[in-house]
Amino acid sequence: MLNLLAFDYGASSGRAILGKYDGNRLKLCEVHRFSNDPVMVNGTLYWDVLRLFYDMKQGILKLRHGENIEIASIGTDTWGVDFGLLGSKGELLGNPVHYRDDRTSNMLQEAFKLVTKEEIYKCTGIQFTKFNTIYQLLALKLGNAHILDEARTLLFMPDLLNYFLTGIKKTEYSIASTSQMLNAKSGSWDEELLGKIGLPFDILTDIMQPGQIMGTISKLLCEELVINEIPVVSVAEHDTASAVMAVPSINGKYAYLSSGTWSLLGTEVSAPLINEKSFRLEYTNEGGFGNTIRLLKNIMGLWIFQECKRTWDKTGEKLSFDELESMAELCEPFKCFIDPDDDLFYSPGNMPEKIIQYCEKTGQPIPEGKGEIVRCIMESLAYKYRMTMEGLEDILGYKIPVLHIVGGGCKNLLLNRFTANALGRPVVTGPVEATAAGNLICQLIALGELSDINEARKLIARSFVPGEYLPSETEEWEDAYGKFRKAIR
């Protein structure tokens, strides 16, 4: 039995997941779960990165001393775009700022004054979102230039945690590709683009491909934790890249949906697809394992549902997600819709009221009660997935027969069913813990236990039982699609 440890950090919580590999199947066991709570200080929203590293050490200790398990390797994945800055002595210059902080509110417009939108996309092939690293750095340059002057190294969140573990400063390819600072065709930092915007590129490190051993836990940390020098693997460090590795499909054409706080819908291609159509439709070309490209679109996802529940919880009516979904199932279908990607829903705060505001603004019936609000969210997401799938097919030039949904959103049975109905094609779900599973199979490849991604995906298919949803009520869903498109114009 080979034991591997995956640290999977999401936008609201993190987990230490033990992977047990017996040569035929992979079993996942949760060792340590912890919250990831951003902290607002003087108007700036930060990540509590030192607490996140503390919980990383707790995960290692629980395994090594609690169960006395020998760990073969460790890998870390997180969300994209956010970063920490190190000074001349390798010290952290400040807590990383959260991507939902409002410092980047006008940075797209500021960047386009220096370089055209078309040129940025031609270089990077990345979807335009205001929280991309390039705009965060521009915000620093325009508002806190002294921090950039002091900085000697930039490390993205998983690379920063790996640095805390090993003392090694490296950047993994998939996480770097989320920044909109990587040249999509060369896979290297686009120094010419950064120079035009006036951003430093000497603070960026060498780029590593996923599936390599980057080093071992530092001697200092080994002494603190009383452990041996465990190898640390550069996995596909962007959580979506790890999740895509765990899609259990070997052959054929398919699309994936990594479903969670964010929804990322796309497919794998061998080279970037950067043209007038992908630019107009704003599809992104992010890096994946084996120099593949994840051609996808970023959708707001279950964040809206989570924020509604958070608002309702504060009133003392603490209903579970399952209870809210059951209430939604009993409500009138297709009463009203929202565009999940509207800026109104980007920031936290009284999400139910924002949904009502959107429906009022677009001249639709107002959802009444929790069930109708949840139904509005779920139907809108399902149709947004259909619209995104149609755009993807338009770029690719062929129809995609099946959608694989992976990640925590697999547990939302109502949304899975709605998605199959909206798409009019089969939906296959699982694994739920796709990000951790992808992290672990990447470690197995680095250790030489698996030969390649195809063998790794066969292991996933053997280890996890999928769910399947076939479309129904297709005529009703087809009729209401035009109503959705009208509501989001």
User: What whole-number distance in Å separates Cα of residue 466 and Cα of residue 147?
Assistant: 48
* Phi, psi dihedrals of residue 469, rounded to the nearest 5°: -125, 125
51: buried, middle or exposed (CB in 10 Å: 19+, 13-18, 0-12)? Answer: middle
Q: Which amino acid, 51?
A: R
* CA-derived radius of gyration, the chain: 22
Tokens of 107: 């940075």
Cα distances (angstroms) measured from residue 18 to each of 33, 168, 336, 384, 390: 12, 24, 43, 35, 38
426: buried, middle or exposed (CB in 10 Å: 19+, 13-18, 0-12)? Answer: middle
Residue 284 is inside which H or E element, if any?
strand 284-287
Are the beta carbons of 212 and 233 closer than 8 angstroms? Answer: yes
Are the beta carbons of 210 and 172 closer than 8 angstroms? Answer: yes
User: What whole-number distance in Å separates Cα of residue 19 and Cα of residue 4?
Assistant: 5
239 has catalytic annotation: yes
DSSP string, 382-440: HHHHHHHHHHHHHHHTS----EEEESGGGG-HHHHHHHHHHHTS-EEE--TTHHHHHHH
Contacts of 281 (CB under 8 A, 6+ apart): 297, 391, 394, 395
* Phi, psi dihedrals of residue 210, rounded to the nearest 5°: -65, 150
Q: Which of the residues 82, 159, 239, 341 is marked catalytic?
A: 239
- So which residues are the catalytic ones? 239
